[in-house]
Chains A and B, each alone.
Chain A
Amino acid sequence: MSPSSPGTDQIETLLWIGFVAAAIVVVAVVVGLVYALRRYRAQRGAEPRPLAGGRRVQLRVGAVLTAFAAAILVLSIVFTDRARERPPTGTAGLQVAHSEPLQIAVTGQQWLWRYDYPNEAFSYYKLVVPVDTAVELNLVSTDVIHTWNVPDLAGKADAVPGKTNHLFFRADEEGSYFGRAATLSGQAYAAMRAEVEVVSPQTYEAFIEQRKNEIQAAQDRVVGLVEGGEVP
């Protein structure tokens, strides 16, 4: 993974903090256990030392563990809050999205994603967003639970029927980003992908314009067919 938005930068840092915490735990347990088993292996009939320590040792170990857990908790909250910050649209971004993020409705369905842009344009499979622009995804599902997942741009979020989930990101660089849906959603689940294309604001606006024209042309054609007495 290579983080390409302010939020995923923070998540990446937190992931490494978590990795270090996990490594400390594993190393402590394995070293202690292997030392104990190798050093104190005894012949049958050997006498053990009486138990030492007592309440004070337990309290100390408990205090160390509590401090460790509290440190992880605090760091997690700090970095999670940073990752949740809504990054503002930058100077290179789409100008209309300066006051509030670009709203895009994301609909999960078996087994593709539909994206509805502000100006009545929509697209399937591929999400096109302008670079350096704050984007808010509003996720719902029309059938089963899906998880939208493009690791480089944002965390995962479930699309659940009847309840809207939200995701914010701001792509730092133009390019294509991929991810695979992450909740078992039926037979073609493994082929369900998410693709985000980050483009310049001009290209984005041209894309929206083109989509609107295409959609309008398709609607006109259907209306024309119906009015002409043909079933489309």
Chain B
Amino acid sequence: MSAANGQPELVVDGFPPQRPRWVQIATSADHKDIGRVMVVAALGFLFMALVELLLMRLQLAIPENTFLAPVTFNRMLSLYGATAIFLFAIPLALGLLYYVAPLQIGARGTALPRLGQLGMWLYLAGATVLYTGFLYTPSEAGVNPLPPLSGIAFLPNNGVDAWCAATGLATLGFVLIAIDLVATLRTLRAPGMAWRRLPVFSWAAAICSWLLVAIGPVMLAAITMLLIDRNFDGIFFAGDAGGSPLLWEHLSWIFFSGAYALILIFALAAIAEIVSALARRPLAGRGVVIGSLAAIAVLCTLAWMQNMLTAPIGIGWMYFAMTMALALIVPFGLVFFNLIATLIGGAVQMRAPLLFAAGAIVSISIGLAAEIEHSMVAAAWQLKNTVDATAATHFALVGGGVFGGFAALHWWFPKMTGRTMGESLARFSFWTMALGMLATFVPLFLAGGFEGEVIDAYKYFAGEGVSTYNLISSIGAFVLAAGILMTLVNAILSREGGAEAGHDPWGGDSLEWFALSPPEPHNFDQLPDVRSAQPLHDIRAAIGHRTARAEARPRESQPVA
């Protein structure tokens, strides 16, 4: 028939053979498959991080506990840090950005899909190295393996080498994915999708990608130097042989500070999308929010020496770090202000993603507020390396990575699977998590701030006045873990059994809600003209307008198509 119309005839001898599903996913360079694998893997490692956290909290539940040997505790600590940062928080953020941003800009895929695929596999390879390393000897050097402790002289087994390989592979993977995202955002935006019309979350994708391109190679360099020091008699970090242990501190803290910013930028951008859609109005101060997110990336990375205020670095550098850290009050404050200003006067629909978003805002603000005090130089001389810092970091990063990550997960879950996550379980999970979060980390603020309990220690003593705080914190950790597990279970159950979502369950304004749920492999059959920052809002307005006109006219005249 098509030949009769002058079209070439398409002859198909049946469907091409379907390869097994796992082969298809493993070999796919589709950003949606890659993003989904990263999100699923990241949530799996969230579970592992929880197990490690609970083991450590069990050891710290009572004074002078002997549940874990000191070595085991240090291994759990090292594993927990690497898992939470490199295998959970960054890949969850990056996976969601990588899944959503191409859809939001109306692209049919990414610009360098094989690079993104390689990035995903490098991340999974890093994760495999870390956890097979766990089977023989994990690193004992802590969350940030500072030389000389992480040097060959003090930890001669291969644990630190495995840590280096694992985090190095994962970091390289993140950088490759970031390069793909940068290229995609620069070249594959739909007609009319100018930068000024880009959704906030896609802006976050651009900012986070540029940030990773800047900080990733720094970490890779540091890791390479550590490997050379350990295996080829290098002296980069040997203080007595012409090197400097402080060099590692500088390089690694540049990366960790940038990663901290990345997790928060991802979370705040996701929250901005959720808040504006569920308040039924455009984001207040859109340009200011986007500019603030970019400022956060720059200032937070420049504040890396905020982590080194007790090191011998000179008071001038300390004041520089403090100035950069305190300057962050302005962009963070503007973002929080505009999120709340969007809600005030809106028609707020209190759905699960907004609940998690609100929890994330509160948790992040507590963490950042505490971080103000850790930036004030003399105050930091007392507070640094106490469990007060543990609490501050966790409020910010669990707030961004877990609460913010879960808000984003609930938000885009319908797009990824075609089904919404169960609302009542989500609410129950949220309140459990909120309670657990406060019970786990508020006592640590008190134990660190008033009693000076030190960080990373496998035990404390009965006479130090921190026993009650630690017991409450340990109980709280189990409540927090129960809450997080509920959301993980909710996600697993809803994948098959959730309510069918349709292409636009939330009334979103950006282009990903124009695609099917889940989207076709090529994302869009066709795209609407992008004339503003809210293309779907424009379509709805146009339809509403035409319907109103059609109803106002006499029946016989047809509405013009």
A residues engaging B (CB < 8 A)? 1, 8, 10-11, 14-15, 17-19, 21-23, 25-26, 29-30, 32-33, 35-37, 39-44, 46-53, 57-58, 61-62, 65-66, 68-69, 72-73, 75-77, 79-80, 83-84, 110, 141, 143-145, 147, 149, 151, 154-158, 160-166, 179-191
- 13 sample A-B contacts, Cβ–Cβ < 8 Å, listed by A number: A1-B450, A11-B381, A33-B340, A36-B346, A37-B358, A160-B312, A161-B238, A162-B245, A180-B452, A181-B454, A184-B77, A184-B457, A186-B154
B residues apposed to A, CB below 8 Å: 70-71, 74, 77, 140-142, 146, 148-149, 153-154, 238-240, 243-246, 279-282, 284-285, 288, 310-312, 315, 318-319, 322-323, 326-327, 329-330, 333-334, 336-338, 340-350, 354, 358, 361-362, 365-366, 368-370, 372-373, 375-379, 381-386, 449-452, 454-460
Q: Kindly list chain A residues whose C-beta atoms are within 8 Å of the C-beta of B375.
A: 76
CA–CA, A141 to B148, complex, Å? 10
Complex Cα–Cα for A129 and B243 (A): 34
B281 touches A40 (CB 8 A): no
CB < 8 Å: which of A21, A36, A46 contacts B344? A36
Q: In whole angstroms, what is the CA distance A15 to B378 when docked?
A: 8
Q: Are B347 and A46 in contact (CB under 8 A)?
A: yes
CA distance A154 to B378 in the complex (A): 10
Q: Taking A145-B146, A182-B385, A185-B149 as given, write out 8 further A-B residue pairs in contact, using a Cβ cutoff of 8 Å, ordered by the A residue number.
A: A1-B451, A14-B376, A33-B361, A68-B333, A80-B319, A143-B148, A155-B310, A189-B70
Find chain A residues with CB under 8 A from B71 CB.
Answer: 187
* Contact among A40, A65, A162 with B348 in the assembled complex (CB-CB below 8 Å): A40
Given A42-B348, A77-B319, A151-B452, also A183-B343 (CB < 8 A): no
Is the Cβ of B347 less than 8 Å from the Cβ of A48?
Answer: yes
Does A184 contact B149, Cβ atoms closer than 8 Å? yes
Residues on the A chain within 8 Å of B282, using CB: 51
Cβ contacts under 8 Å, B330 to chain A: 62, 65-66, 69
Residues on B with beta carbons closer than 8 Å to the beta carbon of A39: 344
Q: Is the CB of B244 within 8 A of A162?
A: yes
In chain A, what residue has the closest Cβ to B336? A29
Q: With A and B bound together, what is the CA distance between A53 and B345 in angstroms?
A: 12
B343 nearest CB neighbor, chain A only: A36
Known: A40-B348, A51-B284. A10 touches B378 (CB 8 A): yes
Given that A14-B378, A186-B154 are contacting pairs, would A49 and B326 also be in contact in the complex, using a CB cutoff of 8 Å?
no
Q: Contact check, A40 vs B369: say whether CB atoms are below 8 A apart.
A: no
Closest chain B residue to A150, Cβ basis: B452
Task: Give the CA-CA distance A188 to B457 in the complex, in Å.
Answer: 9
Chain B: minimal CB distance from A166 (Å): 8
Bound complex: CA of A36 vs CA of B337, how far in Å? 11
A14 to B381 CA separation, bound complex (whole angstroms): 11
Complex: A30 Cα to B368 Cα, angstroms: 13
A158 touching B312, Cβ below 8 Å: yes
Note all chain B residues with C-beta closer than 8 A to A21: 369, 372-373
Known: A36-B344, A181-B454, A189-B456. A161 touches B239 (CB 8 A): yes
Q: Are A36 and B146 in contact (CB under 8 A)?
A: no
Q: Do the beta carbons of B381 and A155 come within 8 Å of each other?
A: yes
| Given A40-B346, A165-B311, A76-B452 contact (CB < 8 Å) | no
Contacts of B457 in A (CB 8 A): 180, 184, 189-190
Whether B333 pairs with A61 at a CB distance below 8 angstroms is yes
B267 to chain A, nearest CB (A): 14
- List B contacts of A80 (CB < 8 A): 315, 318-319, 376-378
Known A155-B382, A158-B311, A184-B142; contact A15-B460, beta-carbon cutoff 8 A: no
The answer on a CB contact under 8 Å between A48 and B345 is yes
Contact B310 A147 (CB under 8 A): yes
Q: CA A49 – CA B344 in complex, angstroms?
A: 9
Q: Could you tell me the distance between the alpha carbons of A175 and B83 in the complex, rounded to whole angstroms?
A: 44
Q: Which of B141, B146, B455 has the most CB of A within 10 A?
A: B146
Q: Once the chains bind, are B246 and A160 in contact (CB under 8 Å)? A: yes
B365-A52 in contact (CB<8A): no
Minimum distance in angstroms from A87 CB to a CB of chain B: 14
A36 to B318, CA, bound (A): 38
Residues of B close to A185: CB separation below 8 A: 149
Given A79-B378, A162-B240: A149 touches B454 (CB 8 Å cut-off): yes
Given A22-B373, A40-B344, A11:B361 Cβ within 8 A: no
Known contacts: A143-B148, A188-B70. The answer to whether A156 contacts B345 by CB under 8 A is no
Which A residue sits closest to B365, measured CB to CB? A29
- Report A159 CB to chain B, min CB distance, Å: 9
With contacts A29-B361, A37-B358, A76-B377 taken as known, whether A190 is within 8 angstroms of B460 at the C-beta atoms is: yes
Least CB separation from B143: chain A residue:
A184
* Minimum C-beta distance from B250 to chain A (A): 12
Bound together, the chains give a CA A132 to CA B99 distance in angstroms of 64
Assess the B372–A72 pair: CB atoms within 8 A: yes
- Selected contact of A48 from candidates B280, B372, B450, CB within 8 Å: B280
The smallest beta-carbon distance between B241 and chain A, in angstroms, is 8
For the complex of A and B, the 5 pairs showing the least CB-CB separation, nearest first, are: A155-B381, A162-B239, A161-B239, A18-B373, A36-B343
* Distance A163 CA – B142 CA, assembled complex (angstroms): 22
Q: A182 and B454: CB pair below 8 A?
A: yes
* Bound CA–CA A55/B349 (angstroms): 27
Say whether B329 contacts A190, CB under 8 Å.
no
Q: Which residues of B contact A43 (CB under 8 A)?
A: 347
Chain B residues with Cβ below 8 Å from A65 are 329-330, 333-334
Min Cβ gap A106→B in Å is 13
Shortest Cβ gap from A143 to chain B (Å) = 6
- Residues in A with CB closer than 8 Å to B455 are 182, 184
Known A-B contacts A21-B372, A156-B382; the reply to A186 vs B149 at CB < 8 A is yes
- Residues in B neighbouring A25, C-beta threshold 8 A: 329, 365, 368-369, 372
- The answer to whether A18 and B334 have CB atoms under 8 Å apart is no
A49 to chain B, nearest CB (A): 4
CA distance A181 to B231 in the complex (A): 29
In the assembled complex, the Cα of A155 lies from the Cα of B382 at a distance in Å of 5
- Do the beta carbons of A37 and B239 come within 8 Å of each other? no
Most buried by A among B366, B376, B455: B376
B373 touching A156 by the CB < 8 A rule? Answer: no
Closest chain A residue, CB of each to CB of B368: A25
Q: Once bound together, how far apart are the Cα atoms of A23 and B368, in whole Å? A: 11
